[in-house]
Chains A and B, each alone.
Chain A
Amino acid sequence: MARVRLQNLVKQFGTTEVIRDVTLDIADGEFVVFVGPSGCGKSTLLRLIAGLEQATSGTIYIGDDDVTALPPAKRGVSMVFQSYALYPHMDAYRNISFGLKLPDACTESVDQRVRRVAEKLQISDLLDRKPRELSGGQRQRVAIARAIVREPRVFLFDEPLSNLDAALRAQTRLEIARLHDELSSTMIYVTHDQQEAMTLADRIALLDKGRIEQVGAPTELYRQPASRFVAEFLGSPAMNILPAKVSGGDALLATGERIAVNTHYSGPADIGIRPEALTQASQGEPGTVQARVLHIEDLGESRLLHAALSDGTVVAARYFGAAATPSKGERIAFRLEPHDLHLFGEDGRRI
């Protein structure tokens, strides 16, 4: 088990910079999720740590060792691939044991080790099957077993759940979380799925265009997004963004309505508010925003309401439980509580 430190990491493919000056400290035993839109460099960052790509500049430490120039096998990391990458012609047992070299000091035999790991992942009775005879979820377990069996210092996961169907994905997500509790080893996990990131991570590193946009606990990123990009990336449906002019604790929205804000800033700003923070108010109340209901989606435990403001901007609001939901076409008013608002300046940074 080890901490991982990335220092001023840069990766260029030809002239395109894929990773731009990334510095990150991952504590021993931490579960860090790299998340971001496709092409943000999250997979490349993981591959740099794995040693499958060579950094253009910068340093990677695992434990106290500078591993920047070491080949993958010497780094003490193991990886679970998106496509599982099981050897098709070997049975599960061979897949797990192939390439397993135990140190001389180890009292356990290869066979014992394989069977113990198989036990842990509940694949003991699948060991003589070839990958093609296994279901997607079972293949995933074999791939994880292959990563675990070497008892690496750091586990790397490259979108391990994206080939599974929704139900299996939720289940496997839970198992990965359990596995992390059990092994208490450092894990780095790449995904484009914000739900996976929110549920699994101790800390999320949100990447955009090769840079780390924000690092922090999931709730921190959700509640205190450092930029408009972070605010819009996390949360589904995305945060509502209303352009406004702010001055003297007052914001003039593009719709012409005025609402109160908690800031001394003055100038143009984007005001963000989460769908669940939009509450319905009675018509004509001061500090509210007028809207017309366009569409309602009933999700069972909540209802999503899409409404157009007077300037045409569409916002989403979430209604929970027994709260009365207006009907389609109805004119309603939303209250925007100052403490629910996120303000972003013209550069997209939080104010």
Chain B
Amino acid sequence: MRGLLKNAGLFLACLVLAVFLLFPLYYAVITSLKSGSELFQVSYWPREFDLTSYARLWTEQNFGRNILNSIVVATSVVLLSLALALTAAFALARVRFAGRGLLLYAILGISMFPQIAVLSGLFELIRVLGLYNNLASLVLSYMIFTLPFTVWVLTTFMRDLPVELEEAALMDGISPLVILFRVFLPLMAPAMAATGLLAFIAAWNEFLFALTFTLVNEQRTVPVAIALITGASEHELPWGSIMAASVVVTLPLIALVLVFQRRMVAGLTAGAVKG
């Protein structure tokens, strides 16, 4: 009897959590499938299946371009962050040098600046570099928040790899770069997948920098594009399009998480690699 109660309680808790987490997405999906005045009626069950909102994303504005921008930016951010973080982690975890601890905390400190605090300075920087209204400005600015945590996670992960592995490779006369890419990289794959995915999500969802550093719709990423979707008149809020767009941009993330799920869990939980 107690076991039954316990199970029921657990089930109930899970249910509450799931509803809490999934309701916004669910509501976005059913709203995106409504049309016309239906949109402004609150209903919790899907009553029609109308794809015009989705079609309108492509006919009324070039939403495909926005998605492509987001993919380009997020992918570049992930690749650059991982490449820089991996090499940095190798140095921070395996090379003894003065000021190593200080450097690590400085990197951590950078991630604590509020975005809004660095915004105006960053804007000047991007103007000087001639990157305004260019996707490269986003790649550059996103690395401010992706690099600190990728460096930290990879550094701690690399610290846990047995030193003997590196020493064995040293005895075999293998150069540091080959050790990094042929010995450590394969062992770091779970950690790389986990941090890479988190960096991708962060870059994909970023709004403030994307809004500030771009000017025209062709350079916008999806969060900004969605926010700036306009209706036929300024008095109309195009809920259908906004919801359809929200659903569309959520799907790639869900797909990515599902694909990398197992590796991610391994990356977040696994510490030492047993030989």
* Minimal Cβ-Cβ distance residue in A for B182: A98
- The CA of A306 and the CA of B58, in the complex, are separated in Å by 93
A81 touches B168 (CB 8 A): yes
Give the segment of B34-42, B46-54, B159-167, B210-218 that binds chain A.
B159-167
Give the segment of A70-78, A110-118, A186-194 that binds chain B.
A70-78
Q: How far is the CB of B105 from chain A (nearest CB, A)?
A: 23
Q: How far is the CB of B78 from chain A (nearest CB, A)?
A: 22
Residues of A within 8 Å of B186, CB to CB, are 89
Report if A139-B275 is in contact (Cβ < 8 Å); known contacts: A87-B183, A89-B187. Answer: yes
Please tell me which one of the listed residues A51, A74, A78, A85 contacts residue B275 in the complex, with CB atoms under 8 A apart.
Answer: A85
- The CA of A72 and the CA of B172, in the complex, are separated in Å by 8
The proximity string for A residues 40-83 relative to B, scoring 1 for CB distances below 8 Å and 0 otherwise, is 00000000001110000000000000000001111001110111
- B: interface residue count bin: 10 to 19
* Minimal Cβ-Cβ distance residue in A for B189: A89
Residues of A within 8 Å of B171, CB to CB, are 50-52, 72-73, 77-79
Interface of A (DSSP majority class):
loop
- The CA of A73 and the CA of B186, in the complex, are separated in Å by 23
The proximity string for A residues 84-95 relative to B, scoring 1 for CB distances below 8 Å and 0 otherwise, is 111111000000
Q: How far is the CB of A196 from chain B (nearest CB, A)?
A: 20
Q: How far is the CB of A199 from chain B (nearest CB, A)?
A: 25
**In the complex, B273 has a CB within 8 A of chain A:** yes
B275 touches A73 (CB 8 A): no
B170 touches A150 (CB 8 A): no
B170 touches A72 (CB 8 A): yes
Report if A71-B170 is in contact (Cβ < 8 Å); known contacts: A83-B275, A85-B275. Answer: yes
**In the complex, B235 has a CB within 8 A of chain A:** no
Please tell me which one of the listed residues B170, B172, B274 contacts residue A88 in the complex, with CB atoms under 8 A apart.
Answer: B274
Residues of A within 8 Å of B164, CB to CB, are 81-85
A86 touches B172 (CB 8 A): no
**In the complex, A264 has a CB within 8 A of chain B:** no
The A-contacting residues of B in range 149-178, CB under 8 angstroms, are 162, 164-165, 167-174
- The CA of A198 and the CA of B167, in the complex, are separated in Å by 28
Residues of B within 8 Å of A88, CB to CB, are 187, 273-275
- The CA of A222 and the CA of B274, in the complex, are separated in Å by 39
A85 touches B167 (CB 8 A): yes
B173 touches A132 (CB 8 A): no
- The CA of A105 and the CA of B275, in the complex, are separated in Å by 35
Question: Counting chain B CB atoms within 10 Å of each CB, which of A98, A99, A132, A139 scores highest?
Answer: A99
Q: How far is the CB of A142 from chain B (nearest CB, A)?
A: 11
> Total interface residues on A, using CB and 8 Å?
28
A84 touches B173 (CB 8 A): no
Q: How far is the CB of A9 from chain B (nearest CB, A)?
A: 19
The proximity string for A residues 125-145 relative to B, scoring 1 for CB distances below 8 Å and 0 otherwise, is 000000110000001000000
Please tell me which one of the listed residues A77, A85, A89, A132 contacts residue B168 in the complex, with CB atoms under 8 A apart.
Answer: A85
* Minimal Cβ-Cβ distance residue in B for A156: B171
- The CA of A329 and the CA of B164, in the complex, are separated in Å by 52
Q: How far is the CB of B70 from chain A (nearest CB, A)?
A: 33
**In the complex, A101 has a CB within 8 A of chain B:** yes
Please tell me which one of the listed residues A82, A132, A150 contacts residue B172 in the complex, with CB atoms under 8 A apart.
Answer: A150
The proximity string for B residues 249-275 relative to A, scoring 1 for CB distances below 8 Å and 0 otherwise, is 000000000000000000000000111
Please tell me which one of the listed residues B165, B173, B182, B183 contacts residue A73 in the complex, with CB atoms under 8 A apart.
Answer: B173
A86 touches B173 (CB 8 A): no
- The CA of A107 and the CA of B218, in the complex, are separated in Å by 63
* Minimal Cβ-Cβ distance residue in A for B186: A89
**In the complex, A100 has a CB within 8 A of chain B:** yes
- The CA of A81 and the CA of B171, in the complex, are separated in Å by 11
Question: Counting chain A CB atoms within 10 Å of each CB, which of B162, B168, B172 scores highest?
Answer: B168
Residues of B within 8 Å of A51, CB to CB, are 171
The A-contacting residues of B in range 180-224, CB under 8 angstroms, are 182-183, 186-187
Question: Counting chain A CB atoms within 10 Å of each CB, which of B165, B171, B187 scores highest?
Answer: B171
A81 touches B173 (CB 8 A): no
Listed A/B pairs (27) with beta-carbon separation below 8 Å:
A50-B171, A51-B171, A52-B170, A73-B170, A73-B172, A73-B173, A77-B171, A78-B172, A79-B167, A79-B168, A79-B171, A81-B164, A83-B162, A83-B164, A86-B168, A87-B165, A87-B168, A88-B273, A88-B274, A89-B186, A89-B187, A98-B174, A99-B172, A99-B173, A101-B173, A139-B275, A146-B172
- A→B interface (CB under 8 Å): 50-52, 71-74, 77-79, 81-89, 98-101, 131-132, 139, 146, 150
A72-B171, A83-B162, A89-B186 given; 9 more Cβ-contact pairs under 8 Å: A52-B170, A72-B167, A81-B168, A85-B164, A85-B168, A85-B275, A88-B273, A98-B174, A131-B275
The 6 tightest CB contacts between A and B, nearest first, are: A73-B173, A99-B172, A85-B164, A85-B168, A89-B186, A81-B164
